[in-house]
Amino acid sequence: MRPITSLLRSSAAAALLVLAACANGPAVASGGNELRLEPAPINRLDEESLQRGARTFVNYCLNCHTAKYMRYSRLTDIGLTEAQIRDNLMFATDKIGETMTVAMPAIDAKGWFGAPPPDLSVEARIRGSDWLYNYFLGFYKDDGTPSGWNNLVFPNVAMPHVLWVQGGINRLQTTEYEDHEKAQAAAIAVRQLVMVAPAAGDAVEVRTLVPETPGTMKPEEYRAMVADLVNYLDYMGEPARNQRINVGLAVLIFLGVLFLFAYLLKREYWRDVH
């Protein structure tokens, strides 16, 4: 039997290794493949961005997905009035207290797409906002899949690229390098979503997307739209967090002012002593 100290030491070493792997930048491993994600440029206190994101969400996502833990009335949180919500965002229902459900029954959806569209209420907490941002940058044309689309971040996803009109059509570009080190260096130089994957023999591939047909939006406009959408998904995963941040800020400001008065009072008390 191994002494308990050596066991402890090896598990501590393992924990350190895991930590080191996590700290190693935005690379995400998936089955031998390594993804380098672009950081999502989002700010959950930016109400205008959240409003634009909510609009994209109800227009392009609620046809298939639900957000059944999210009530329309809650959108007053992000600076909208009930009338604005009713007039601009409610297509599926006329009751403002209703949750974001969808007309398509899950069973049909599974039949049509091969996989049911999951509920998106807490999706940002499952996948994280960087993953989601890159998911919408990661679609490319692939004639080998049933939908005609594939995704670098979610290989063989059943969801079609629903924002292709705006984002345009991308193709996959694969470049082979003789070893992992060269491929890594090339991947870092790309400075956008990229995958490093093992190829035949010792070779390593770098997969990136290249535009084939431009969309109605410029690439930076499309990225901004996707960032707003991801910002909204992130907000929806935990709507109360904005309130907590605001309360926290108010408390800090209050403490700052209190400190100033306490300090002045202390100086007043000690003036006669010194």
Using CB under 6 A, pick the residue from 102, 152, 153, 159 that binds ligand HEC. 159
Query: Do residues 199 and 94 make contact, with C-beta atoms less than 8 angstroms apart?
Result: no
234 forms part of the interface with ligand HEC (CB under 6 A): no
Minimum gap (Å) between residue 47 Cβ and ligand HEC = 19
Residue 174: Cβ-neighbour burial (10 angstroms; 0-12, 13-18, 19+): exposed
In the bound state with ligand HEC, the residue whose beta carbon lies nearer, of 163 and 194, is 163
Q: Print the binding letters for residues 4-43 with ligand HEC: x by CB under 6 A, - otherwise.
A: ----------------------------------------
| Residue 175 to residue 158: CA distance in whole angstroms | 26
Q: Which residues pair with 203 in a beta bridge?
A: none
From the list 92, 91, 90, the residue with the least C-alpha distance to 74 is: 90
Which of the residues 82 through 141 are near ligand HEC (CB under 6 A)?
113, 115, 117-118, 120, 123, 126-127, 132, 135
Minimum gap (Å) between residue 148 Cβ and ligand HEC = 12
In the bound state with ligand HEC, the residue whose beta carbon lies nearer, of 42 and 159, is 159
Write down the H helix ranges in the chain.
Answer: 4-23, 47-60, 82-88, 106-113, 123-127, 129-137, 164-167, 180-190, 219-237, 240-270
Minimum gap (Å) between residue 170 Cβ and ligand HEC = 16
